[in-house]
Amino acid sequence: MQPFGNNATLLLQGSFLNAVSINEKFASIRKGLLEFLILRIISSDKVYVADMLQRLSGTEFATQEGTLYPLLSKMRREGLVDYEWQESDAGPPRKYYELTAKGKSQLAELNDYWKHLNATITQLGR
Amino acid sequence: MQKVISINLNGNAYQLDESGYEALREYLAGAERALAANPDGAEIMADLEQAIAEKCQRFLGSHKSVVTASEVDQIVKEMGPIDASAGEDATSTDEKAAGDKQGAHTEHRAKRLFRNPDGARIAGVCNGLASYFGIDVTLVRIAFVLMAVVSRGAGIIIYVAMMFIVPEARTSEERAAAGGVPFNAKEVIERAKKQYAEGQRHWRRQWRQQQRQWRRYGWASGTTPPPWTAGIAPLFALAHLALFVTMAAMTISLVNTGGIFAWRLPEDVPVWAGALILFIGYQIVVSPVRAAQHWSWNLPGPGQPGLYAFWNAAIWLTGMAIVVWIASHHIPEIQEFIHRLPDLARDFAEAMRQVFSKQR
């Protein structure tokens, strides 16, 4: 899922400084995509927050508890996700998040929209 | 001696030392302020406390019941500042905050020694050491070879021992920990600002780091190369092989005849020095090819990722097998080369001994 294939050529032509500014230019896009990615991560199974952070760590979208918990609570208020308590063998019960029906339809919409965006970017030249 | 303070994190009791307690209280108070207007503030606070409790657990064992101040600092750093507006808008002023956070997240990641299988020659020991100390992997390899020769083989034993002792970086997180900090634009900018006085020196270091990154992941790590490169991907492996064969032929020629084909080595340059220069030169020439190879592994397509890396390895191994077979059966120079190797090593060890005794 790499829409910015041009990065490669840009980086090839460009200098080290170029790479820096590209990363920075997409900072707000990455931030905006976080909710979409959380939906995708939760889509397959019930997920614990530490596991979400684990999945995201090492990617361009690495984030922290301080960001993720407020985001999840907002998504729950909007009815996109819900959680259930599950016993854990190490410590107190944990919240496992899953998608609601609304969350699933939102994810489908976002996936389509993402594909549409990709197609547009590809169409607009290379 | 520090006083120990017991706290209750979402129903779990933990003991912190006094300064650790202060740091944690400050973090939680800040979180509470940031979440004051949030309708789910109380619940998020409980979640955060729970997450902190789990992180504390990591530092506690049967013989350790107190979380220290430095551990609390690490926990607070891992938690990150509270982004109360997460997901509310993507373009506002917290864009900067988000970037800073990312910087903070990666900047303080502890360095650990791992074997790095990306771009490894044998088991990635040299590669891991190079990342750990922030020096070029070629230098580490040369140092290892020197050590092995000077110590008459003890270096090889050390390598084998490290192969078993040092863990391999398997996950991307471990790889990031092996390299200390992953290449991250925000971080580079922040550091550059902070260390502007250091000037050139700093940028040169970053540049080397970036080059390492390229060598390891290809030019554009994490990006997809344009589709037309699919056609030329196998060529990279062949080019690598061709360069290697050329280098090998030149080395053999150098060792056997004291010169490379028609060109003679100057009288006062020993053969081992020529071989060493040849080896370094080869590393420089081959590095863009190797980077291109790694880069082509990111190509999209059926069976990817992995398919191109597999074919790449298959071409390389087959090519090497053919070359070695032909060479050992049909080229008498190879036999001569192998016979001369001990002499070469002895000359080299002698030269090193002289260098070191002169210093004393």
Complex prediction ipTM: 0.72
Identify which of A62-66, A113-117, B7-11 has the greatest average pLDDT.
A113-117
Angle between helical axes of B69-79 and B18-34 (0-180°, round to 10): 20
Which residue is it, tokens 């939906």? Answer: A39
The closest alpha carbon to A39, from A111, A88, A87, belongs to A111
Could A66 and B40 be called an inter-chain contact, meaning their C-beta atoms sit closer than 8 Å? no
Q: What is the pLDDT of residues B22-68, one digit of tens each?
A: 888 888 888 888 888 888 888 888 888 888 888 888 888 878 888 88
A95: nearest CA in chain B? Answer: B47
- The first and second tokens of residue A95, run together, are 């919240």
Q: Answer whether B210 sits within 8 Å of A16, measured CB to CB.
A: yes
Inter-residue contact B241 to B315 (CB < 8 Å): yes
Contact (Cβ atoms closer than 8 angstroms) between residue A47 and residue A96: yes
Query: Are residues B226 and A64, on separate chains, in Cβ contact within 8 Å?
Result: no
User: Which chain A residues have a beta carbon less than 8 Å from that of B56?
Assistant: none
d(CA B134, CA B129): 8
3-state secondary structure of B223: coil
Q: In angstroms, how far is CA B335 from the centroid of its own chain?
A: 37
pLDDT 10s digits, B301-334: 666 666 667 777 777 788 878 877 877 777 777 7
- Which of B94, B173, B219 is the closest to A57 by Cβ? B173
Chain B interface, mutation test: which of A39, A61, A69, most B Cβ atoms within 10 Å? A69
Residue A17 sits at the vertex; the CA angle it makes with A15 and A19, to the nearest 5 degrees, is 80
Per-residue three-class SS string for A15-34: CHHHHHHHHHHCHHHHHHHH
> What does the pLDDT read at residue B119?
66
d(CA A18, CA A8): 11
pLDDT of residue B91: 40
Check whether the bond before B305 is cis (ω within 30° of 0). Answer: yes
Tell me which residue of B43, B52, B44 sits closest to B21, measured CA to CA: B52
Q: Which residue has the tokens 């905050």?
A: B97
The first and second tokens of residue B321, run together, are 């097998």
Residue whose pair of structure tokens reads 């080059």 in the numeric block: B211
Please tell me which residue of chain B has the smallest CA distance to A49: B51
Q: Domains of chain A by range and CATH?
A: 28-123 (1.10.10.10)
The confidence score (pLDDT) of residue A125 equals 80
Across the range B128-141, mean pLDDT stands at 77
How far is the alpha carbon of B95 from chain A, nearest alpha carbon, in Å?
Answer: 6
Check B80 against A76: CB less than 8 A apart: no
Of residues B11, B82, B91, nearest to A28 (C-beta): B91
Q: What is the pLDDT of residues A35-72, one digit of tens each?
A: 999 999 998 888 898 889 988 888 888 888 888 999 99
b/e map of A79-88 (b: 16 or more CB within 10 Å)?
A: ebbebeeeee
Distances (CA, A) of B120 to B168, B247, B307: 11, 19, 19
Instruction: Express each pLDDT in B71-109 by its tens digit.
Output: 888 888 888 888 876 655 444 444 344 444 444 344 344
pLDDT tens per residue across span B175-221: 556 654 444 445 545 555 555 545 556 556 666 776 666 555 554 54
Q: Which residues 6+ apart lie within 8 Å of B276 measured at CB?
A: B142
Nearest CA to A53 out of B295, B230, B79 is that of B79
3-state helix, strand, coil in chain A (%, to 5): 65, 10, 25
Instruction: Quote the strand ranges of chain B, DSSP E.
Output: 4-9, 12-17, 66-67, 259-260, 263-264
* Radius of gyration of the CA atoms of chain B, in A: 27
Assess whether pLDDT exceeds 50 at residue A5.
Answer: no
Residue B292's CB is within 10 A of a number of other CB atoms, namely: 22
Give CA angle at B123 (B280, B165), nearest 5°: 125
